[in-house]
Amino acid sequence: DAVARTGAVAAIVRDAVLTQPVWDMHTHLYPPTFGTPSQSAGQPSDPNGLLLWGVDELLTYHYLVAETFRVVPNAELSYATFWSMSKQDQADHIWRQLFLERSPVSEACRGVLTTLAALGLDPGERDLGRYRRWFAEQEPSKHIDRVMELSGVSRITMTNAVFDDNERLRWLENPQVAADSRFAGVLRFDPLVRDWPAAAAMLSRWGYPATESLDEPSVQNARRFLNDWIDRVSAIYCAVSLPPTFRYESPEDGTYSSRVLSEVVLPVLAERGLPFAMMIGSQLQVNPSLRDAGDMVGMSDVNSVTRLANDFPDNRFFCTMLARENQHALAVAARKFGNLMVFGCWWFLNNPSLVDEITRMRVELLGLSFIPQHSDARVLEQLVYKWSHSRQIIADVLIDKYADIERTGWRVSEKEIRRDVRLLFEGNFSRFVEAPAP
Amino acid sequence: DAVARTGAVAAIVRDAVLTQPVWDMHTHLYPPTFGTPSQSAGQPSDPNGLLLWGVDELLTYHYLVAETFRVVPNAELSYATFWSMSKQDQADHIWRQLFLERSPVSEACRGVLTTLAALGLDPGERDLGRYRRWFAEQEPSKHIDRVMELSGVSRITMTNAVFDDNERLRWLENPQVAADSRFAGVLRFDPLVRDWPAAAAMLSRWGYPATESLDEPSVQNARRFLNDWIDRVSAIYCAVSLPPTFRYESPEDGTYSSRVLSEVVLPVLAERGLPFAMMIGSQLQVNPSLRDAGDMVGMSDVNSVTRLANDFPDNRFFCTMLARENQHALAVAARKFGNLMVFGCWWFLNNPSLVDEITRMRVELLGLSFIPQHSDARVLEQLVYKWSHSRQIIADVLIDKYADIERTGWRVSEKEIRRDVRLLFEGNFSRFVEAPAP
Amino acid sequence: DAVARTGAVAAIVRDAVLTQPVWDMHTHLYPPTFGTPSQSAGQPSDPNGLLLWGVDELLTYHYLVAETFRVVPNAELSYATFWSMSKQDQADHIWRQLFLERSPVSEACRGVLTTLAALGLDPGERDLGRYRRWFAEQEPSKHIDRVMELSGVSRITMTNAVFDDNERLRWLENPQVAADSRFAGVLRFDPLVRDWPAAAAMLSRWGYPATESLDEPSVQNARRFLNDWIDRVSAIYCAVSLPPTFRYESPEDGTYSSRVLSEVVLPVLAERGLPFAMMIGSQLQVNPSLRDAGDMVGMSDVNSVTRLANDFPDNRFFCTMLARENQHALAVAARKFGNLMVFGCWWFLNNPSLVDEITRMRVELLGLSFIPQHSDARVLEQLVYKWSHSRQIIADVLIDKYADIERTGWRVSEKEIRRDVRLLFEGNFSRFVEAPAP
Ligand SMILES: [Mg+2]
Ligand SMILES: [Zn+2]
Ligand SMILES: [Zn+2]
Ligand SMILES: [Zn+2]
């Protein structure tokens, strides 16, 4: 009967969503060859290493640092004191304040528990020492395999910030640094679009002479710079993070960013057949004392995105925005442009109530033609909770939507459900980057 | 006991909401006398006819065209090619892409299935040919009766665009063109408010001499134009669609739109006792290649609406806005002005998750003093799904609200529930237009 | 098993939330010593008295006046006529229109029913005369005890508007006017920040000479004024309501409000160790004919708040905003500043669907480090419904959140749940004002 049918469909959807491998399109994770600051079995610690993992990194995630400074504010434990503490002492402080002195109900706290549990550790023990000992015994590369297995992530997309000295030098020193098939590269170059004069100075230093005026030789050198680095990181797309104030009116609107986009970035990407990802709405460092935790959200201009999609039909654009109040218009914008792919519930939006409303709205407006989530993981094991929590919500939404159409007499087969879920978790992305799913 | 009581009330509410005839206050539907491009039994096809109906129209609805260009983008099947295809070929393409290649979970896709099922066709068959044969056998006027019966629509309000040549000439050629009691007329004149200079030129051509300067004779002639056309279409209200950038500061704010409103439109409507409807927030043609599907949403200025309601207390205003982010303030604005009636969940808002949040918010802020929905149907049979889907959500909201007040000991009778539902579906509207419910 | 465990936790949460005494941080209530216009046993009526209570005040609450003018608009019963009616006649009119002619499903209507029921009156009787007789028999001070008991309010925070003549004179005439331990004082001085020139003139008249130029003597006198009044009302914090247009760029941004804040208000409050509360987003009197019901909502600037929190690290800020569209960014802002405490769901946001979404979002982003609600009660007995309705929703949210973390194996004890709930209802506030919970 109808109830049994609904239950059967729901069970298939849940299974499909929970088991479907996902190509995680945006993380801040790296292979062990980029070094890791954590203590581990089998790899010496590199204090500036880029791969973060382990329980102390999970606990000192900047989301939790921010929450801790609410309950023990600067007036009680100063920013300076906190930052001078060892990572383990910081983690102890956060654990005590956010998990023991009050219940860990925020999404970021809950994420730590979900992660520990999935790794076979028991959050009910509340035994930080034991968790630490377990992590110290892991060998990074095998641990990555295990985390990918547990989170159902088939490939991890990096964010390769070419203007970051620490990262850039690692690429230059070791051309094989990223020779790890579990990871895919993304060239990220915020200063190029956000601050051309500063970027031009750096390009010049790096052998790509460029002037503030962005004259023709500068354009050519900047393009060569992009091409070289796209090759070096084998980038599957390029990306920038843009502030809420970002505006694009036209190539001739008189801003550096519009000129850089129209003369340098978009022509190169069109030629290379690579999408351009824009993450818009993060306002940097409203509280510098919080460091990585000090950025804020702001409303962005969706019209700038539709104008880019319209003016550059030979480019493909990924776009996510940070403000809740941009989500409806951004989803509508995607209805207007086939070369615009909305993705993810970013950062302050990656909370159950918001993921639910955004995903529901997107399915209603866009069907299956979007990318529901990325993890944005900065610490390896966050893959586990970010995907576990999101999968539950995505499954709930799909169950409702299949139930709605089944009520009309339409019948959806298991094969169709798995096909649909594959589109959301892998197919839409791999098709947009024109690369086969892993 | 309490549970049984809650269940009994819920059953009454559901029955009341599902069976209550609705006066649909905004559609783009017409009587068969305006011609129909579809093949049918008993009426010759008119390629420029205004009444759209049938499965090919349902499938080529611009909502679905937009969604199709996301999955088969311009790069794969160009806009030009698509628009050159026959309606049936377009429909085949859309059916294949949105219903067969992936599941039809978007709200617009689901709507097609709901409609087919209600008409007695089986969506489970997935047999487009069969659906087509059934529609070809229908006689338009009888089909309208049937669709109205199935959707519970007691009267269909048209949108009579006087600046549209195709439509205007039909009115001029045949004064009886709308002599169909199932339909009510609404005079729509966007150019008058949005682009006075262009409108003035047309008015002059049509025998109502008007100048760009909007001098006194222009005012008088424009008023006469409105009066003549209000009479011709027996308009029960007048309407415009306005862009997100619409602003009204005062009659003397220096804009054409404020002058046209304060000197022409609002005085005529006050004299005639007719409401003025403003649909605000649609940004035209951000992607012209998509034609009807190329419009976008934008945030509008609710303060302009409250100023109009305040400055023109002798006028009555209907208002709906397209941006989700305007809905809360618009509902609050309605709390401030008894001559402001909010209505409907428009276009990109007509999706279950948004209809639910908007309806809930409105009941909480406004009680029963608003108009929860209009269909905006462009294709006759869309009446079926737009009302079916909305009725379910409205019933859910009302059930919760009655349950809340019954928990205090308040007892709501069946008669009261039916009275309340009638207000929402018919009474508030008929009272605002000062016309008896059909 | 898991289901039983979830049920047991839910039962504890519900009990904890329903029984936890709350320190209501913002109301417009007063002790009987401020006079009451209502008829009662044991206290003569004072037509300008500040303590509102009783069924006629509940029914003529400005929320309900606004709703009534929607269903019987000015054109049918003019504003002038309504305002000239006696309070009892107004209440009769509202009762008839909003409770009898249509069902009382709005949140404000429902609130009256919840309140009557909690007081032992039966809403099912619909007998206004009987309700009136019951209220007339109450003695104000004992009635306050009873209402506090029923609503679980342990202390009522007043709003002591020093620029309101009626209130100011009562303080000056009777230094003991507020000697009632059930009430705590808050100094409210909107004109000081919103309209310095007007405020300066009044300060000068009151013995604190101040000039429009805000010269050094003016600063000193304004500070003295604040200090004197903080002492007089034993203020536990100071507060202003600000319009949506409020902006703070820097102390030198050239606005009076930024100068008054940085030179007068914030230095005094830092010295006194008192928080500063900003309620932002109310646009005054868009419809003056509605009097208290004539204010509107508008989007505010969250960045102004983060700049204040950043520029004045020695101050503590309470903040609530009126626009739904500010809630996400405001919660994120609180993540950035430990000296910024978000509180409450204000006015047009105090509706179940919005309280639910805001509370959920805050818990996800902030854990337990915020103040979920204040009553804003203007009529004594509103404490009952405002807290009853909010407690139900807060409990629902917490139940979900505890269930989420328990699913990982984390175990939350009854003691921990009660500790967490105490933080939300009392602890976070009392710690922020550095005053012990009652
Ligand atoms: Mg919601
Ligand atoms: Zn990121
Ligand atoms: Zn329309
Ligand atoms: Zn208040």
The ligand placed nearest to the CA atom of residue C378 is 4
Average pLDDT over residues C102-113: 98
Residue in chain C nearest B339 by alpha carbon: C73
- Do C314 and C409 lie in one domain? The reply is yes
| Block residue for tokens 């830092």 | C270
* A263: β partners: none
Res C1 pLDDT > 90: no
Task: Compute, in angstroms, the gap from residue A386 CA to the centroid of ligand 2.
Answer: 13
Q: Is C9 a member of any domain?
A: yes
Q: Under an 8 Å CB criterion, which residues of B touch A? A: 66-67, 69-75, 98, 102-107, 109-110, 113-114, 116-117, 122-124, 126, 283, 286-287, 290, 293-294, 296-299, 323-325, 348, 351-354
Res C80 pLDDT > 90: yes
Of A70, A74, A324, the CB nearest to C328: A324
Q: Is C140 a member of any domain?
A: no
- Longest Cα separation, chain B: 72
- Do A127 and A164 lie in one domain? The reply is no
Q: Is A279 a member of any domain?
A: yes
* Interface probe with C: pick from A100, A299, A353, most Cβ of C within 10 Å: A353
Domain CATH code at residue B76: 1.10.2020.10
Q: Is A273 a member of any domain?
A: yes
Q: Looking at residue B40, what is its pLDDT?
A: 87
Domain CATH code at residue C213: 3.20.20.140
Helix (H, G, I), strand (E, B) or coil at C104: coil
- Do B167 and B126 lie in one domain? The reply is no
Return the DSSP state at A343: B
Cβ-contact A300, A322 below 8 angstroms: yes
- Do A376 and A351 lie in one domain? The reply is yes
Which of A73, A105, A135 lies at the terminal end of a domain, its last residue? A135
Average pLDDT over residues C199-205: 98
Q: Is B50 a member of any domain?
A: no
Which of C135, C165, C193 lies at the terminal end of a domain, its last residue? C135
- Do A209 and A83 lie in one domain? The reply is no
HSE on the CB side for C18, CA within 13 Å?
A: 9
Q: Is A46 a member of any domain?
A: no
Q: How many domains does chain B have?
A: 2
- Do A157 and A110 lie in one domain? The reply is no
Residue in chain C nearest A327 by alpha carbon: C325
Cβ-contact B224, B208 below 8 angstroms: yes
List C-alpha distances in Å: C159 to A14, A298, C128, C237, C432: 52, 32, 30, 10, 18
> Which alpha helices (H) appear in C273-381, and where do they start and end?
302-311, 327-336, 352-366
Q: How confident is the model at residue B24 (pLDDT cuts 50, 70, 90)?
A: very high
Res A435 pLDDT > 90: no
Residue in chain C nearest B409 by alpha carbon: C124
Q: How confident is the model at residue B120 (pLDDT cuts 50, 70, 90)?
A: very high
Q: How confident is the model at residue C335 (pLDDT cuts 50, 70, 90)?
A: very high
CA distance A262 to chain B (A): 19
Task: Compute, in angstroms, the gap from residue C261 CA to the centroid of ligand 4.
Answer: 21
Q: How confident is the model at residue B438 (pLDDT cuts 50, 70, 90)?
A: confident
In whole angstroms, give the CA distance from residue A262 to residue A268: 10
- Which pLDDT tens digit goes with each residue over C155-173? 999 999 999 999 999 999 9
Give all chains having 3 or more CB-to-CB distances under 8 Å with chain C: A, B
Q: How confident is the model at residue A436 (pLDDT cuts 50, 70, 90)?
A: confident
Q: Is C142 a member of any domain?
A: no
Give all chains having 3 or more CB-to-CB distances under 8 Å with chain B: A, C
Res C356 pLDDT > 90: yes
- Do A277 and A384 lie in one domain? The reply is yes
Average pLDDT over chain B, rounded to an integer: 97
Res B2 pLDDT > 90: no
Higher pLDDT, A188 or C438: A188
Res A438 pLDDT > 90: no
- Do C110 and C26 lie in one domain? The reply is no
CA distance A59 to chain C (A): 15
Considering only CB atoms, which chain B residues are within 8 Å of C66?
335-336
Cβ-contact A58, A381 below 8 angstroms: yes
CA distance C357 to chain A (A): 7
Considering only CB atoms, which chain B residues are within 8 Å of A404?
105, 110, 352
Can you give the residue range of the structural domain that contains C80?
55-135
- Do C119 and C173 lie in one domain? The reply is no
Length of chain B: 438
Residue in chain B nearest C77 by alpha carbon: B338
Q: Looking at residue B359, what is its pLDDT?
A: 99
Q: Smallest Cα–Cα separation from A304: which of A344, A373, A240, A253?
A: A253
The ligand placed nearest to the CA atom of residue C359 is 1
- Which pLDDT tens digit goes with each residue over A65-115? 999 999 999 999 999 999 999 999 999 999 999 999 999 999 999 999 999
Q: How confident is the model at residue A241 (pLDDT cuts 50, 70, 90)?
A: very high
Q: Looking at residue C42, what is its pLDDT?
A: 85
- Which pLDDT tens digit goes with each residue over A172-225? 999 999 999 999 999 999 999 999 999 999 999 999 999 999 999 999 999 999
Task: Compute, in angstroms, the gap from residue A257 CA to the centroid of ligand 4.
Answer: 45
Q: Is C177 a member of any domain?
A: yes
The ligand placed nearest to the CA atom of residue C320 is 4
- Do C372 and C341 lie in one domain? The reply is yes
Q: A400 φ, ψ to 5°?
A: -60, -40
List C-alpha distances in Å: A418 to A12, A71, A297, A367, B371: 8, 45, 36, 15, 41
Of C332, C405, C411, the CB nearest to A110: C405
Average pLDDT over residues A150-160: 98
* Interface probe with A: pick from B103, B348, B360, most Cβ of A within 10 Å: B103
- Do C123 and C207 lie in one domain? The reply is no
Helix (H, G, I), strand (E, B) or coil at A197: helix
Res C40 pLDDT > 90: no
Average pLDDT over residues B159-165: 98
Considering only CB atoms, which chain A residues are within 8 Å of C416?
103
Q: Looking at residue C286, what is its pLDDT?
A: 96
- Do C250 and C360 lie in one domain? The reply is yes
Average pLDDT over residues B115-144: 97
Which of A111, A135, A159 lies at the terminal end of a domain, its last residue? A135
